[in-house]
Amino acid sequence: MQVQEGPGWRFCVDPSRDPYPVLIGGDGWAVELHAAEARALLEGCCRLADELAAMADRLMPEERVTLELERGPLWLELDGQPSSWRLRFVLTSGPMDRGVEAGWSDTATMALLAALRQAREAGPLALP
């Protein structure tokens, strides 16, 4: 089991907890995710952060930007400035499954993103 957490965020992976091996959370909320949902969230968050980094030198320091990404039932939004931004997401699963709308503050987002990048660099999430 892998557990990482800090002020305003939590990321836990436990492959033995089928069908929801990933728990991700923030201030006052947490949700369990299927492996495919977790992979999509991880890749989507990293992609939005990479897109912001690629355009940061073209933005004025006080300029705000909003980037969105939609992959199947997952919608992600990055909002803020190159030096400080927040993430939020909406998961709309099937009619017999759960859905969630949640996000992280700018401080929590930076720490969570570091944990997600570390998980991505370690290789594909070892999930069923």
Predicted confidence band of residue 118 (pLDDT cuts 50, 70, 90): confident
Q: Which residue has the higher pLDDT, 120 or 124?
A: 120
Helix (H, G, I), strand (E, B) or coil at 8: coil
Whole-number percent of the chain with pLDDT over 70: 95
Distance of alpha carbon 121 from the chain centroid = 15
Asked whether residue 126 carries a pLDDT value surpassing 60, the answer given is no
Taking the C-alpha atoms of residue 83 and residue 110, their distance in angstroms, rounded to an integer, is 10
Asked whether residue 123 carries a pLDDT value surpassing 80, the answer given is no
How many CB atoms neighbour CB 121 within 10 A? 8
CATH 2.30.31.10 is held by the domain 2-121 = yes
This prediction has a pTM of 0.88
Number of H helices, E strands in the chain: 2, 8
Omega before 21 cis (within 30°)? Answer: no
Q: What is the pLDDT of residues 46-86, one digit of tens each?
A: 999 999 999 999 998 889 999 999 988 999 999 999 889 99
Predicted confidence band of residue 128 (pLDDT cuts 50, 70, 90): very low
| Domain boundaries defined on the chain | 2-121
CB contact at 8 A, 8 and 95: no
* Average confidence (pLDDT) over 22-28: 95
Asked whether residue 36 carries a pLDDT value surpassing 50, the answer given is yes
